[in-house]
Amino acid sequence: MANRATQRLTDTPADIVQAAEILRAGGLVAFPTETVYGLGANARDTDAVRAIYAAKGRPAKNPLIVHVADLDGARRVAVFDDCAEALAQAFWPGPLTLVLPLRPEAGIAAEVTAGQASVALRMPAHPVAQAILRASGLALAAPSANPSGAVSPTTAAHVLEGLSGRIDAVVDGGACPVGVESTIVGLLDAPVLLRPGGLPSEAVEACLGVPLARPGADPALPLAPGQLASHYAPRAALRLNAGRARAGEVLLGFGPVTGAAANLSPAGDLAEAAANLFACLRALDATGAAAIAVSPIPETGLGLAINDRLRRAAAPRG
């Protein structure tokens, strides 16, 4: 796509208004959420949504999440049943995405849903994301603001490393506090965990009173983002559940380990580890190391999301 000058905006009211104007005019604006930076476009503007795919180099079969400012806006896009209402009341705004039946009259561009009859929806909690949504008056399609398959961005600088010259603006709202993408729950039938993320799945199960199914994703027709086998990948190869680094590797530690070039959380805190994950992968990748060895991380709470991202980052690349 043609090169364009990418503005770096602040989170001041005047710059929020400018970001909203760019979005209403069909432009692309990256902005912080509590999870990672998203690349936003008007979800009802086909050309704008296509521009997201072009800027990211994203496969057209991989659907996007629609971000809304409030529950009324969400109900105009999708059909909410009792489970959806319960989860929205409990966890929105926050790092939870719901996959629900799309309202045909909602006017969402077909490219957002990859032509499917369902839509992924979330209401972000970050004040900058909320301010942009309200100032624009739009539902925003917004995947992570990085080249497709690469490490997700948790700062404005990360966004510019990957997309400068390919998008209109990035709004700098500081580092994202959660650091991994939203948890995605499908509610088209029995509740299904489609992607672990920034809201522990145990909290969702406690709210619903039933366990979440965990079926394997169909890579040919993903219902939601983050289901492709290879994703979130640095240039360096990854080796998981490593006790120590081998020759030619650098160690990404978790907990009180020795010899780590970087540590997700020396105290073994999963929330701290999630917040640091993508920044640590980027920093170690920037050293030029051929491979990154990663300490074992528990498969509970936010550890599910961390390990999911690490497994996809370590997967063979197409």
Residues 277 and 201 in one domain: no
Cα 195–chain centre separation: 10
Q: Is the residue at 73 inside a domain? A: yes
CATH number for the domain spanning 134: value is 3.90.870.10
Nearest to 252 by CA among 261, 239, 240: 261
Alpha helix (H) residue ranges in 25-78: 46-56, 71-77
CATH number for the domain spanning 280: value is 3.40.50.11030
Q: Do the Cβ atoms of 64 and 120 come closer than 8 Å?
A: yes
Mean pLDDT of successive 10-residue stretches along the chain, which has 318 residues: 82 98 98 98 98 91 94 97 97 98 97 94 98 98 93 96 97 97 95 95 96 72 58 84 93 96 97 97 93 96 95 80
Residues 193 and 248 in one domain: no
Give the H or E element holding residue 99.
strand 96-101
Q: Is the residue at 261 inside a domain? A: yes
Structure-block tokens of residue 164: 């400068």
Domain end marker among 188, 208, 228: 208
Structure-block tokens of residue 108: 């969402």
Rg (CA), the chain: 19
Give the H or E element holding residue 63.
none
Range of the domain at 272: 237-314
Report how many domains make up the chain.
2
SS3 86: helix
Model-level pTM? 0.92
Q: Is the residue at 213 inside a domain? A: no
Residue 80 confidence (pLDDT): 98
Residues 92 and 187 in one domain: yes
CB atoms within 10 A of CB 51: 20
φ, ψ for residue 301 (rounded to 5)? 50, -135
Q: Is the residue at 221 inside a domain? A: no
Residues 167 and 28 in one domain: yes
Average model confidence (pLDDT) for the chain? 93
Give the H or E element holding residue 132.
helix 127-136
Residues 61 and 201 in one domain: yes
pLDDT in tens, 214-237: 876 555 555 666 555 556 678 899
Q: Is the residue at 222 inside a domain? A: no
